[in-house]
Amino acid sequence: MNEQKAYWINAYNALTLKAILDHYPIKPGGFIARARFPKNSIRQIADVWDTPMLRLAGKMRMLNEIEHEILRKQYHDPRLHFVLVCASIGCPLLEENAFTAADLEARLDQAARNFLNNPDKLRIDLASNTLYLSSIFDWFGEDFQSTGAGDPPFKNYKSDENGVIRFVLKYASAETKDFIRRQHPKIEYLDYDWSLNEQ
């Protein structure tokens, strides 16, 4: 199973890079894309996630299909959100090496830790008792519901938020974990930076 999961993670990231390279430098898209997103964003590429790009496993594949129909639906692993790259500042950093089955579990755990210990993706505001999280946790809240079963649910959070909080408690810094357990902060989501990560 890990061989297949690693294969599809690598395929998604490679096809994202291919989409950027095929359209670089990125030109402004349609009116809505120009109005809503940075001019150097993947969001300016028309239908980027829904365009068949490459034949994989006997079929022409699209990014949305790989992410939602294969990876999310078949593997139910919320850590995938921290290794799938959309080539934007707001998304996880692209790993230097391709994923393999041999070290996949350790690398998924580390990717989640890296993401949650990045102040651009998770911030605490003590004055307002607020935990600011990446919009990824808002968009895909249902993917986190089964995580952190060892921690009891918090009464002040909705179902999706409890899953998110449990996930954060598993991978965040000790300081963040302590803050959450003591303060039960409200959750707010950070604006997602769709600017192209050109590093």
- From residue 60, alpha-carbon distances to 57, 65, 172 in Å are 8, 10, 38
Specify the pTM. 0.93
- Statement: residue 150 has pLDDT above 70: no
**Residue 194 neighbours by CB distance under 10 Å:** 20
The alpha carbons of the chain give a radius of gyration, in whole angstroms, of 18
Mean pLDDT for 14-24 is 96
Give per-residue pLDDT as tens, 105-138. Answer: 999 999 999 999 999 999 999 999 999 999 999 9
Exposed/middle/buried for 60, CB within 10 Å: 0-12, 13-18, 19+? Answer: exposed
